[in-house]
Chain A
Amino acid sequence: MKALILLSSLGVLSLLAEIFSFKKLLYPLVLLGLTVTFVLNIGEWNTNVTYFKMMTFDNFAVAFSSVIIVVAFLWFLMAEGFFKEESSQTDHYALILFALVGALLMVSYTNMTMLFLGIEILSIPMYILAGSKKDDLSSNEAAFKYLIMGAFATGFLLFGITLIYGSTGSFDLTEIQNAVSVPGKVPGIFYTGVLLMLVGMAFKVSAAPFHFWAPDVYQGAPTMMTAFMATIVKTAAMAAFLRLFDTTFVRVSGTWTEVLWVMAALTLLVGNITAVFQTSTKRMLAYSSVAHAGYMLLALISANVYSSPGILFYTLAYSIGSIATFCIVSVVVNARGDDGIHSFNGLAKTNPLLAGIMTIALLSLAGIPPTAGFFAKYYIFTSAFMAGNVGLVLIAIVASLIGVYYYFRIIIAMYFKEGKHEEVDVDMNHKILLIVIAFAIVALGIFPDVVVRLL
């Protein structure tokens, strides 16, 4: 809760920066603020306080908030340039910070209204920021598409909430859970409501067949915003999804597990197979991000003791891996002016450090030991196995193999293909950030217990 308040005030403060002209101070101030937020957030560990029956900062919320804050911190370090480029920069700070507030709401809600508010607070800044390259046509297109599709999904979600309210008479998660505890007495519209909410949430995590917006938006939006959407937004949406379905709706799991089973299988296959055919790196990463949602859905369907720690670890591993990849992609694309995979040709010769870190990040995304990505997949597979979803695990194994194919295309381009490019300039901050992330990826892969045993 303290974290939430601090982040909100930081957001308001950054709006004032333009008026009272301390723009230059804002960047360090935000980084400092995030650090303090992190500490405050950790301080609420094991306190389990519930606020007005609206939000609860239980360990689940604190753990996911910590992931979001850590990733946001790394994101800010990466995206320094994003704030320098634009003419009016402070609104960007404010929008990002408010989006983070929304993300924290999404992991801590105990009431449907809070879920809805969280999603909207997160989404609206995203709609704006996706179009923040105002003179770029594809950025505008991305923003517009995202807005329309997002509004559409919100409609589904809201309709679902309404039906659930209509059948149970409450927005409160516990009360809803209690209302449906007697199987025979659940009105039919409740199930419809659950399925509509499922559709809404599937939109937000970009699960197939509701993933069509993702590639266009990811490709069109500024790379830094793509990174934000692929990591923080996805983490928050996944946590919200998990809280809703694995606790509140778990009693009626018969209604949604099969639907979600098919969606997970589709997401895994569509995401991975389509990624293979992409020539643009950003678009490929967009499809890979769709695919990763599919892996996480595996744990969600299983709804057992491995689900929450599995998804927690997965979001962390996937987010830091993605931050590293997007950082390198943006650096390379800026220098070479083309986001095709061939831009990476010969990178190992010109920038061995960059290529090495990219390799580690890609190996992690592909799930090869000893990186964090491997352990994340391992945990998800165990969860699905335990729930008896062997078929889904087999599909996920095939999907991972396909995943290896397209991640390795970049590795092969870097190490094997001859490039005629000059060395890419990387500033010191980015270098340090990337080295830290590379170490974190390996360290999390070797000592996953640090994170996994939290939940």
Chain B
Amino acid sequence: MITLLIIFFPLLAALMLLFVKGEQVKNIALGAAIVEFALCLVAFVQYQHGNTTQFEVTYSWIQSLGINFHVGMDGISLLMVALTTFLVPVIILASFSNQYRNPSVFYSLLLAMQFALVGVFVSLDGFLFYIFWELALIPIYFICLLWGGENRARITFKFFVYTLTGSLLMLGGLIYLYLHTEGAHSFDINALYKAGQSLPLSGQGYVFWAMFMAFAIKMPIFPFHTWQPDTYTVAPAPGTMMLSGIMLKMGTYGVIRWLLPVAPLGVEHWAHLAIGLSVIGIVYASCIAIVQKDFKRLIAYSSIAHVGLISAGILAANVQGVQGGVIQMLSHGVNVVGLFFIVDLLQKRYGTREIAALGGIRNLNPQFAVLFLFVLLGSVALPLTNGFVGEFLLLNGVYQYNAWWAAFGGLSVILGAVYMLRSYQTIMLGETNSVTATFTPLNGNEKTVLIILCAAIIVFGVYPKPLLDIAEPSVVKLVEGVRVAMGK
């Protein structure tokens, strides 16, 4: 029941918002998002530690095709839902000082997107998963198209077609699996697992590539990333935060929940290539990030590097890797939203995002400097910040798979420190210049957002155990299933 509430409450709120006029829209949207977070907390409290899927709900949906409305949460799903419901209110609060045309439509789309994202994370039916997966694309497309920056029509369209290509391939893969399920065909997750695992290597190879493409484009992994920097740059700040903070996790989550179990042999056979691409992406994106002049673009590229490591760790298909992937998905979500928020703060104040044009802001507002530093350290994975826990586990996981890939993947930490610290140095330290002569102090909302994010960064860096405890049993169960199917 709680699952249904968590899924449909944002949709309801989104529809209601369409009929609200005036300044109240923001507050109502925030209120709805907070209620949604509270619902998620209720689920957290009721959740019983273990490796079972809980809060399951099944309704017959399209009987003739064996499609059910089947949702439920295990540890991994619960954490993803928690991330979504935590970030959406933060993102809405972060947008409080911005003025958007037609705010009711804007916030309605944000909440509609939350609905689809939650749906993706709790679906236990292949068809339902696909519907939510596609559904998430429509609101963000319109958010970018209607409120984005220059050249948005072309860029958002590229984004749409790119991700749709992946989705359609995944649909092909799902139908292929569906037609191999036993008896009367079914889209149920366990039936699909079984069908996938009983396929020969060649069949699993097709499934692997069909689904991997969809996830690789969504994350994105090199060389399918070309839509990402443009889209992140052109999207309005809340859109960028949704895209990078949550939507990107659809891809990594998809790999864990769907790709690994339905095509274990395919994963085993192709992992070298897939992990190779991820690791190449890490180094490549980090190098490009170093030479970026636009701070928003720099973070977009850094996101490719981070997600590359997540994907490499997950595809290594061992407990540490997947566990690290789950934790890092949470950390990256929090950190990248923080970073994009800081970009937005700077842009609002100075009208530019060019790193070289800024400088000396620390002298003007030390408080902001400290908060920025925390977010930044989390993102470069300094020990005792949230980024460290995940990154450590991920590298450990990749190392177990192949030491060389781990060594290259480890470069992400070093290169990440290079570009992040360098940009911090240029933007915050040194002397103020004509552009940065004054710094409008942070207002209450902005401060709240940064403090919430910093608190999350530190708390889960120092004491990640609760998250690990929730994730671990489910991860162990899933990975063991996969490894048995691989014959290990």
Measured CB to CB, the residues of A under 8 A from B are 309, 363, 368-370, 374, 378, 381-382, 385-386, 393-394, 397, 400-401, 404-405, 408, 412, 415-416, 447-449, 452-453
Give A412's nearest chain B residue, CB to CB.
B153
Contact of B168 (CB < 8 Å), options: A385, A400, A408, A447: A400
Q: Check: B61 CB closer than 8 A to any chain A CB.
A: yes
**8 Å CB interface, B145-183 against A:** 145-146, 152-153, 157, 160-161, 164-165, 168-169, 171-172, 175-176, 178-179
Residue contacts A-B, CB under 8 angstroms, 14 given: A368-B137, A368-B164, A369-B130, A385-B172, A385-B176, A385-B179, A394-B172, A405-B157, A416-B146, A416-B152, A448-B62, A449-B61, A449-B63, A449-B64
Contacts of B44 in A (CB 8 A): none
- Contact indicator B179/A449 (Cβ below 8 Å): no
Determine the distance from Cα of A317 to Cα of B67 in the docked complex, in whole angstroms. Answer: 20
Contact B135 A369 (CB under 8 A): yes
Complex Cα distance, B164 from A378, in Å, reads 14
Does B142 make an interface contact (CB < 8 A)?
yes
Other 12 A-B pairs with CB < 8 A, given A385-B179, A405-B161: A368-B134, A370-B131, A381-B172, A385-B172, A385-B176, A401-B161, A401-B164, A404-B160, A416-B146, A448-B62, A449-B62, A449-B63
Given contacts A369-B135, A449-B62, A452-B64, contact A401 B157 (CB under 8 A): no
B437 within 8 A of A: no
User: A368 CA to B135 CA in the complex, in Å?
Assistant: 8
Known contacts A370-B135, A382-B179, A408-B160; decide if A453 and B171 are in contact (CB<8 Å): no
A404 x B153 contact (CB < 8 A): no
The complex places the Cα of A404 from the Cα of B171 at a distance, in Å, of 16
Instruction: Say if the beta carbon of B138 comes within 8 Å of chain A.
Output: yes
Instruction: Please determine whether B153 and A401 come into contact, CB atoms closer than 8 angstroms.
Output: no
- List A contacts of B152 (CB < 8 A): 416
Partner of B157, one of A363, A408, A452: A408
7 nearest A-B pairs in the assembled complex, by CB-CB distance: A453-B64, A369-B134, A449-B62, A397-B168, A369-B131, A416-B153, A385-B175
Cβ contact of A368, chosen from B65, B138, B169, cutoff 8 A? B138
- Bound-state CA distance A183–B194 (Å) is 40
Bound-complex Cα distance A378 to B175 (A): 9
| Chain B residues closer than 8 Å to A448, beta-carbon distance | 62
Contact, CB under 8 Å: A453 / B175: no
What is the minimal beta-carbon distance from A453 to any residue of chain B, in angstroms?
4
- A415 with B134, Cβ < 8 A, contacts A385-B172, A393-B172, A452-B64 known: no
Total number of B residues with any Cβ neighbor in A under 8 Å: 29
A452 to B131, CA, bound (A): 18
> What separation, in Å, do the CA atoms of A412 and B160 have in the docked complex?
12
CB-based contact B62/A397 at 8 Å? no
CB distance from A426 to the nearest CB of B (A): 20
Which residue on B lies nearest to A417, using beta carbons? B153
In the complex, chain B residues whose CB is within 8 Å of the CB of A405: 157, 161
Return chain B residues, CB-CB under 8 Å to A447.
Answer: 61-62
A416 to B101, CA, bound (A): 13
Given A369-B131, A382-B178, A449-B62, decide whether A412 and B172 contact each other with a Cβ distance below 8 A.
no
Q: Quick check: A401 and B168 within 8 Å, CB to CB?
A: yes
Interface majority SS (helix, strand, loop, mixed), chain A:
helix
A309 to B62: give the CA distance in the assembly, Å. Answer: 13
**Contact partners of B169 in chain A: CB under 8 A:** 397
Given contacts A363-B138, A369-B134, A374-B134, contact A397 B175 (CB under 8 A): no
Whether B164 contacts A381 by the Cβ 8 Å rule is: no
In the assembly, what is the distance between CA of A453 and CA of B65, in Å?
A: 9
Given the complex, which residues of B lie within 8 Å of A386, measured CB to CB?
179
CB distance from B235 to the nearest CB of A (A): 14
Q: Which of B61, B65, B142 has the most CB of A within 10 A?
A: B65
> CA–CA, A405 to B162, complex, Å?
11
In the bound complex, CA of A415 to CA of B156 (Å): 13
Select one of B137, B142, B175 contacting A381, CB under 8 A. Answer: B175
Inter-chain CA distance A397–B172, complex, in Å, is: 9
* A401 / chain B contacts, CB cutoff of 8 Å: 161, 164-165, 168
Across the interface, which residues of A come within 8 angstroms of B179, CB to CB? 382, 385-386
Q: Which residues of A contact B175 (CB under 8 A)?
A: 378, 381-382, 385
Q: Which residues of B contact A378 (CB under 8 A)?
A: 171, 175
Complex CA–CA separation, A448 to B146 (angstroms): 31
Complex Cα distance, B142 from A382, in Å, reads 30
* Docked complex: B46-103 residues within 8 A CB-CB of A: 61-65
Instruction: Determine the chain B residues whose CB is within 8 A of the CB of A309 once the complex forms.
Output: 64
Task: For A402, give the chain B residue with the smallest CB separation.
Answer: B161
CB of A404 within 8 A of CB of B64, answer: no
Q: Report the Cα distance A405→B154, complex, angstroms.
A: 11
Whether the Cβ atoms of A415 and B146 lie closer than 8 Å is yes
Chain A residue numbers with a CB within 8 Å of B131 are 369-370
Residues of chain A within 8 A of B168, CB atoms compared: 397, 400-401
- CB neighbours (8 Å) of B161 from chain A are 401, 404-405
CB distance from B186 to the nearest CB of A (A): 13
Q: Which residue of B lies closest to A381 (CB)?
A: B175
**Contact A412:B63 (CB < 8 A) given known A374-B134, A386-B179, A393-B172:** no
Given A369-B130, A449-B62, CB of A381 within 8 Å of CB of B138: no
> Nearest-CB distance from A404 to chain B (Å)?
6
Query: Complex formed: what's the CA distance from A374 to B167 in Å?
Result: 12
A412 / chain B contacts, CB cutoff of 8 Å: 145, 153, 157
Contact of A415 with B142 at beta-carbon distance under 8 Å, contacts A401-B161, A404-B161 already known: yes
Q: Give min CB distance, B180 to chain A, whole Å.
A: 10
Question: Across the interface, which residues of A come within 8 angstroms of B138, CB to CB?
Answer: 363, 368
Specify which chain A residues have a CB less than 8 angstroms from the CB of B176 in the assembled complex: 385
Measured CA separation A378–B128 after assembly (Å): 13
Considering the complex, give the chain B residue whose CB is closest to the CB of A455: B64
Q: How far is the CA of A393 from the CA of B334 in the complex (A)?
A: 40
Chain A residues near B171 (CB, 8 Å)? 378, 381
Bound-state Cα–Cα, A129 to B175, Å? 43
CB nearest to B165 among chain A residues: A401
Q: How far is the CA of A404 from the CA of B169 in the complex (A)?
A: 15
Nearest chain A CB to B456's CB is how many angstroms away? 33
Docked CA distance A408–B161 (Å): 10
Residues of A within 8 A of B178 (CB): 382
A396 closest partner in B (C-beta): B168
Min CB gap B226→A, angstroms: 16
Report A377 CB to chain B, min CB distance, Å.
9
Give Cα A368 to B168, complex, Å. Answer: 10
A53 to B374, CA, bound (A): 83
Chain B residue with minimal CB distance to A394? B172
Residues in B with CB closer than 8 Å to A385 are 172, 175-176, 179
Residues from chain B with a CB closer than 8 A to the CB of A404 are 160-161, 164
Specify which chain B residues have a CB less than 8 angstroms from the CB of A397 in the assembled complex: 165, 168-169, 172
Q: Which residues of A contact B145 (CB under 8 A)?
A: 412, 415-416
Q: Which residue from chain A places its CB closest to the CB of B130 in the assembled complex?
A: A369
Q: Which residues of chain B are near A449, meaning CB under 8 Å?
A: 61-65
> Chain B's nearest CB lies how many Å from the CB of A180?
30
* Measured CA separation A374–B172 after assembly (Å): 13
Residue of A nearest to B162 (CB): A401
Minimum distance in angstroms from A57 CB to a CB of chain B = 23
A408 to B152 CA separation, bound complex (whole angstroms): 14
Q: In whole Å, how far is B62's beta carbon from the nearest beta carbon of chain A?
A: 4
Q: How far is the CA of A369 from the CA of B164 in the complex (A)?
A: 11
Q: Could you tell me the distance between the alpha carbons of A401 and B161 in the complex, rounded to whole angstroms?
A: 7
Chain A residue contacts of B64, Cβ below 8 A: 309, 449, 452-453
Name the A residues within 8 Å of B142 (CB-CB): 415
Q: What residues of A have a CB within 8 angstroms of the CB of B135 in the complex?
A: 369-370
| C-alpha gap A400/B172 in the complex (Å) | 13
C-alpha gap A404/B172 in the complex (Å):
18
